[in-house]
């Protein structure tokens, strides 16, 4: 191996969650830049995994719930994009399971000689609603085990407007976007592609970004403003509706607490302008809509119409 590839700025980057949102965006961004990527997947035959292989990624089978699979999958890599999935148990969020996955990945990375990890979690608010204890514990454990660690903490994804399976919120139903957030308070959000941009920056300049924690957001419209922008971009009649406390509690007790804290002013407050200085192409919601978000939303709306009114 050449000296160039021994440096983490040029070594193979392993990507967890590569068939998902953040991992997929990051893998594609790195591949587009010519960086060698090893995508850790559970199923090589999954459509998203096949697409990554066709784009140039090496595939390695690994599962965060099977720690023995991680070390072989990471062998020979110098850097890692780590995005352990949120873990749910019978009582809701399972901090111990989430941290267990993060710890297993950190141990495997250390064992494989990975020198730089970019870990992505979630941005905190001034309250406890987005404290993400499992992710914070993983951040600290990574710092104990890995030479260079960069932490990204993004806020809400713009792609959430396309719908998020299994939570009973997000997306649109019959032209209505229903959520926990107060309609007239700023709601920070970030494009997945921009998370990938910051990850790529960290991998390209590991000495500069090692030890740093970057909270990430790109725009901050109110929910009403955001839905109005989506309506204008898609040509649809849409509106925002905030669910009440009882309905939030029925979905999950944690949702009711988020709703209460948000109303009290405990919101994301990421300083966006310094991020734009690092990444001048940082996307607003309007940018995301123009770059494909509106088209994806129109496709969802058309599919819902067809299902509701079959020929």
Residue 251 maps to a domain: no
Q: Which band of pLDDT confidence, cut at 50, 70 and 90, is reported for residue 2?
A: very low
Say what the pLDDT of residue 91 is: 56
CATH of the domain at 130: 3.40.50.720
pLDDT tier for residue 265 given thresholds of 50, 70 and 90: confident
Residue 6's pLDDT band (boundaries 50, 70, 90)? very low
With a cut of 80, say whether residue 85 has pLDDT above it: no
Question: Tens digits of per-residue pLDDT, 282-310?
Answer: 999 999 999 999 999 999 999 988 888 78
Among 96-110, 129-143, 186-200, the least confident range:
129-143
Domain assignment present for 33 = yes
* 225, part of any domain: no
Q: Does 172 have pLDDT greater than 90?
A: yes
Contact between 138 and 84 (Cβ < 8 Å): yes
pLDDT tier at 257 (50, 70, 90 boundaries)?
confident
The pLDDT value given to residue 4:
38
Q: Calculate what percentage of the chain has a pLDDT beyond 90.
A: 74
* pTM: predicted TM-score of the whole model, two decimal places: 0.92
Q: Quick one: pLDDT band at residue 214, thresholds 50, 70, 90?
A: very high
Asked whether residue 162 is domain-assigned, the answer is: no
Q: What is the pLDDT of residue 90?
A: 55
- Report the pLDDT value the prediction gives residue 92, as an integer from 0 to 100: 57
**Mean pLDDT over residues 48-75, rounded?**
96
What is the number of domains present in the chain?
A: 1
Print the domain residue range for 88: 3-156+190-217+269-282
CA dihedral sign of residues 185, 223, 28, 68: positive
The Cα 141–Cα 56 span in angstroms is: 32
Instruction: Provide the pLDDT for residue 129.
Output: 63
Q: Is residue 165 part of a domain?
A: no
Mean pLDDT along residues 51-77: 96
Within a domain: residue 245? no
In a domain, 22, yes or no: yes
Number of residues written out for the chain: 311
What is residue 94's predicted lDDT score, i.e. its pLDDT? Answer: 73
- Is 23 inside a domain boundary? yes
pLDDT (mean) for 200-214:
96
Q: pLDDT per residue over 90-125, tens digit each?
A: 555 678 888 899 999 999 999 999 999 999 998 988
Determine the distance from the C-alpha atom of residue 297 to the mean position of all C-alpha atoms in its chain, rounded to a whole number.
19
Q: What mean pLDDT do residues 13-27 have? A: 95
Q: Minimal CA–CA distance to 60: which of 121, 19, 11? A: 19
Average pLDDT over residues 181-189: 94
Q: What mean pLDDT do residues 224-251 have?
A: 95
Output the average pLDDT for the chain. Answer: 91
* Start-end of H helices in the chain: 3-6, 21-32, 47-55, 70-74, 95-112, 133-145, 192-204, 206-209, 223-234, 245-251, 253-263, 272-278, 285-288, 294-308
């Amino acid at each position: 191996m050449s000296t160039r590839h021994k440096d983490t700025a040029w070594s193979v980057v392993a990507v967890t969650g590569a068939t998902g949102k953040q991992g997929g965006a990051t893998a594609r961004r790195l591949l587009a830049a010519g960086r060698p990527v090893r995508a850790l997947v559970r199923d090589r035959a999954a459509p998203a995994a096949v697409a990554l292989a066709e784009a140039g990624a090496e595939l390695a089978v690994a599962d965060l719930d099977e720690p023995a699979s991680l070390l072989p999958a990471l062998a020979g890599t110098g850097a890692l994009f780590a995005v352990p999935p949120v873990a749910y148990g019978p009582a809701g969020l399972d901090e111990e399971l989430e941290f267990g996955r993060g710890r297993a990945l950190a141990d495997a990375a250390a064992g494989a000689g990975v020198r730089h990890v970019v870990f992505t979690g979630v941005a905190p608010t001034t309250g406890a609603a987005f404290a993400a204890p499992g992710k914070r514990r993983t951040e600290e454990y990574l710092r104990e085990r890995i030479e260079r660690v960069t932490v990204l903490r993004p806020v809400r994804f713009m792609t959430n407007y396309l719908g998020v399976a299994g939570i009973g919120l997000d997306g649109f139903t019959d032209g209505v976007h229903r959520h926990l957030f107060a309609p007239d308070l700023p709601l920070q959000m970030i494009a997945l592609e921009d998370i990938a941009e910051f990850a790529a920056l960290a991998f390209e300049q590991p000495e500069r970004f090692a030890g740093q924690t970057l909270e990430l957001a790109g725009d901050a419209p109110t929910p009403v403003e955001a839905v109005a922008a989506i309506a204008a971009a898609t040509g649809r009649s849409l509106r925002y509706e905030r669910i009440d406390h009882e309905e939030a509690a029925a979905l999950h007790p944690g949702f009711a607490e988020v709703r209460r804290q948000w109303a009290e002013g405990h919101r994301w407050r990421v300083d966006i302008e310094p991020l734009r200085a690092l990444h001048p192409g940082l996307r607003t919601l309007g940018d995301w809509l123009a770059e494909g978000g509106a088209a994806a939303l129109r496709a969802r709306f058309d599919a819902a119409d067809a299902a509701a009114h079959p020929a």
